[in-house]
Amino acid sequence: MLLTIFIYIHVLSAVISIGPLVALIPILTKMEKSDVANLGGFVQAFQTSITVVKHAGHVLVLSGVILIGLSAWTWTTSWIVMTIAIMVGSIVFLAKAFKPTLKTFGTPDFHKEKFIAKLRKSTIIYIFLLLIMLWLMVAKPTIW
């Protein structure tokens, strides 16, 4: 029963980690069509989404650690090692990709087209990283 509860928590936190990022794609399109004066709400929505993704990621990692402890999987299982490696890379990417770009909004360094292009590229790359980790967790491939 305990294992089932943590699997549910783990899956739910994975959904919450990916969902807001997918929702950002149409927001980026709306940002392109808006003038600079109206971007503040979109930027706030973007920042809030990244915060939700980050905190859901904390739950995802904690529940994953607990699941490894409760299950027959070990820390040296290939798909777990690969997931952890990609996760570490994605954490570094998340820290460097969004916050510095979002901080430029409302400053002399802000250029709308570059701002949106950087956010779009970062969003797509981060979704791709999360989907690779999701595949590893679902497929559980034997890599070595």
Task: Identify the pLDDT of residue 83.
Answer: 96
- pLDDT score recorded for residue 5: 96
User: Distance between CA 138 and CA 83 in Å, rounded?
Assistant: 11
pLDDT in tens, the chain (144 residues): 999 999 999 999 999 999 999 999 999 999 999 998 889 999 999 999 999 999 999 999 999 999 999 999 999 999 999 999 999 999 889 888 898 999 999 999 999 999 999 999 999 999 999 999 999 999 999 999
Enter the pTM of the model. Answer: 0.89
The C-alpha R_g of the chain, in whole angstroms, comes to 17
- 89 vs 34, 57, 129, CA distance in Å? 33, 13, 9
Q: Which ranges in the chain belong to alpha helices (H)?
A: 2-33, 40-70, 78-97, 99-103, 112-139
Residue 47 confidence (pLDDT): 93
pLDDT at 114: 95
Amino acid 110: pLDDT = 93
At 120 the pLDDT is 96
Helix, coil or strand: residue 76? coil
Distance CA 21, CA 116 (A): 14
Whole-number Å distance between alpha carbons of 107 and 36: 12
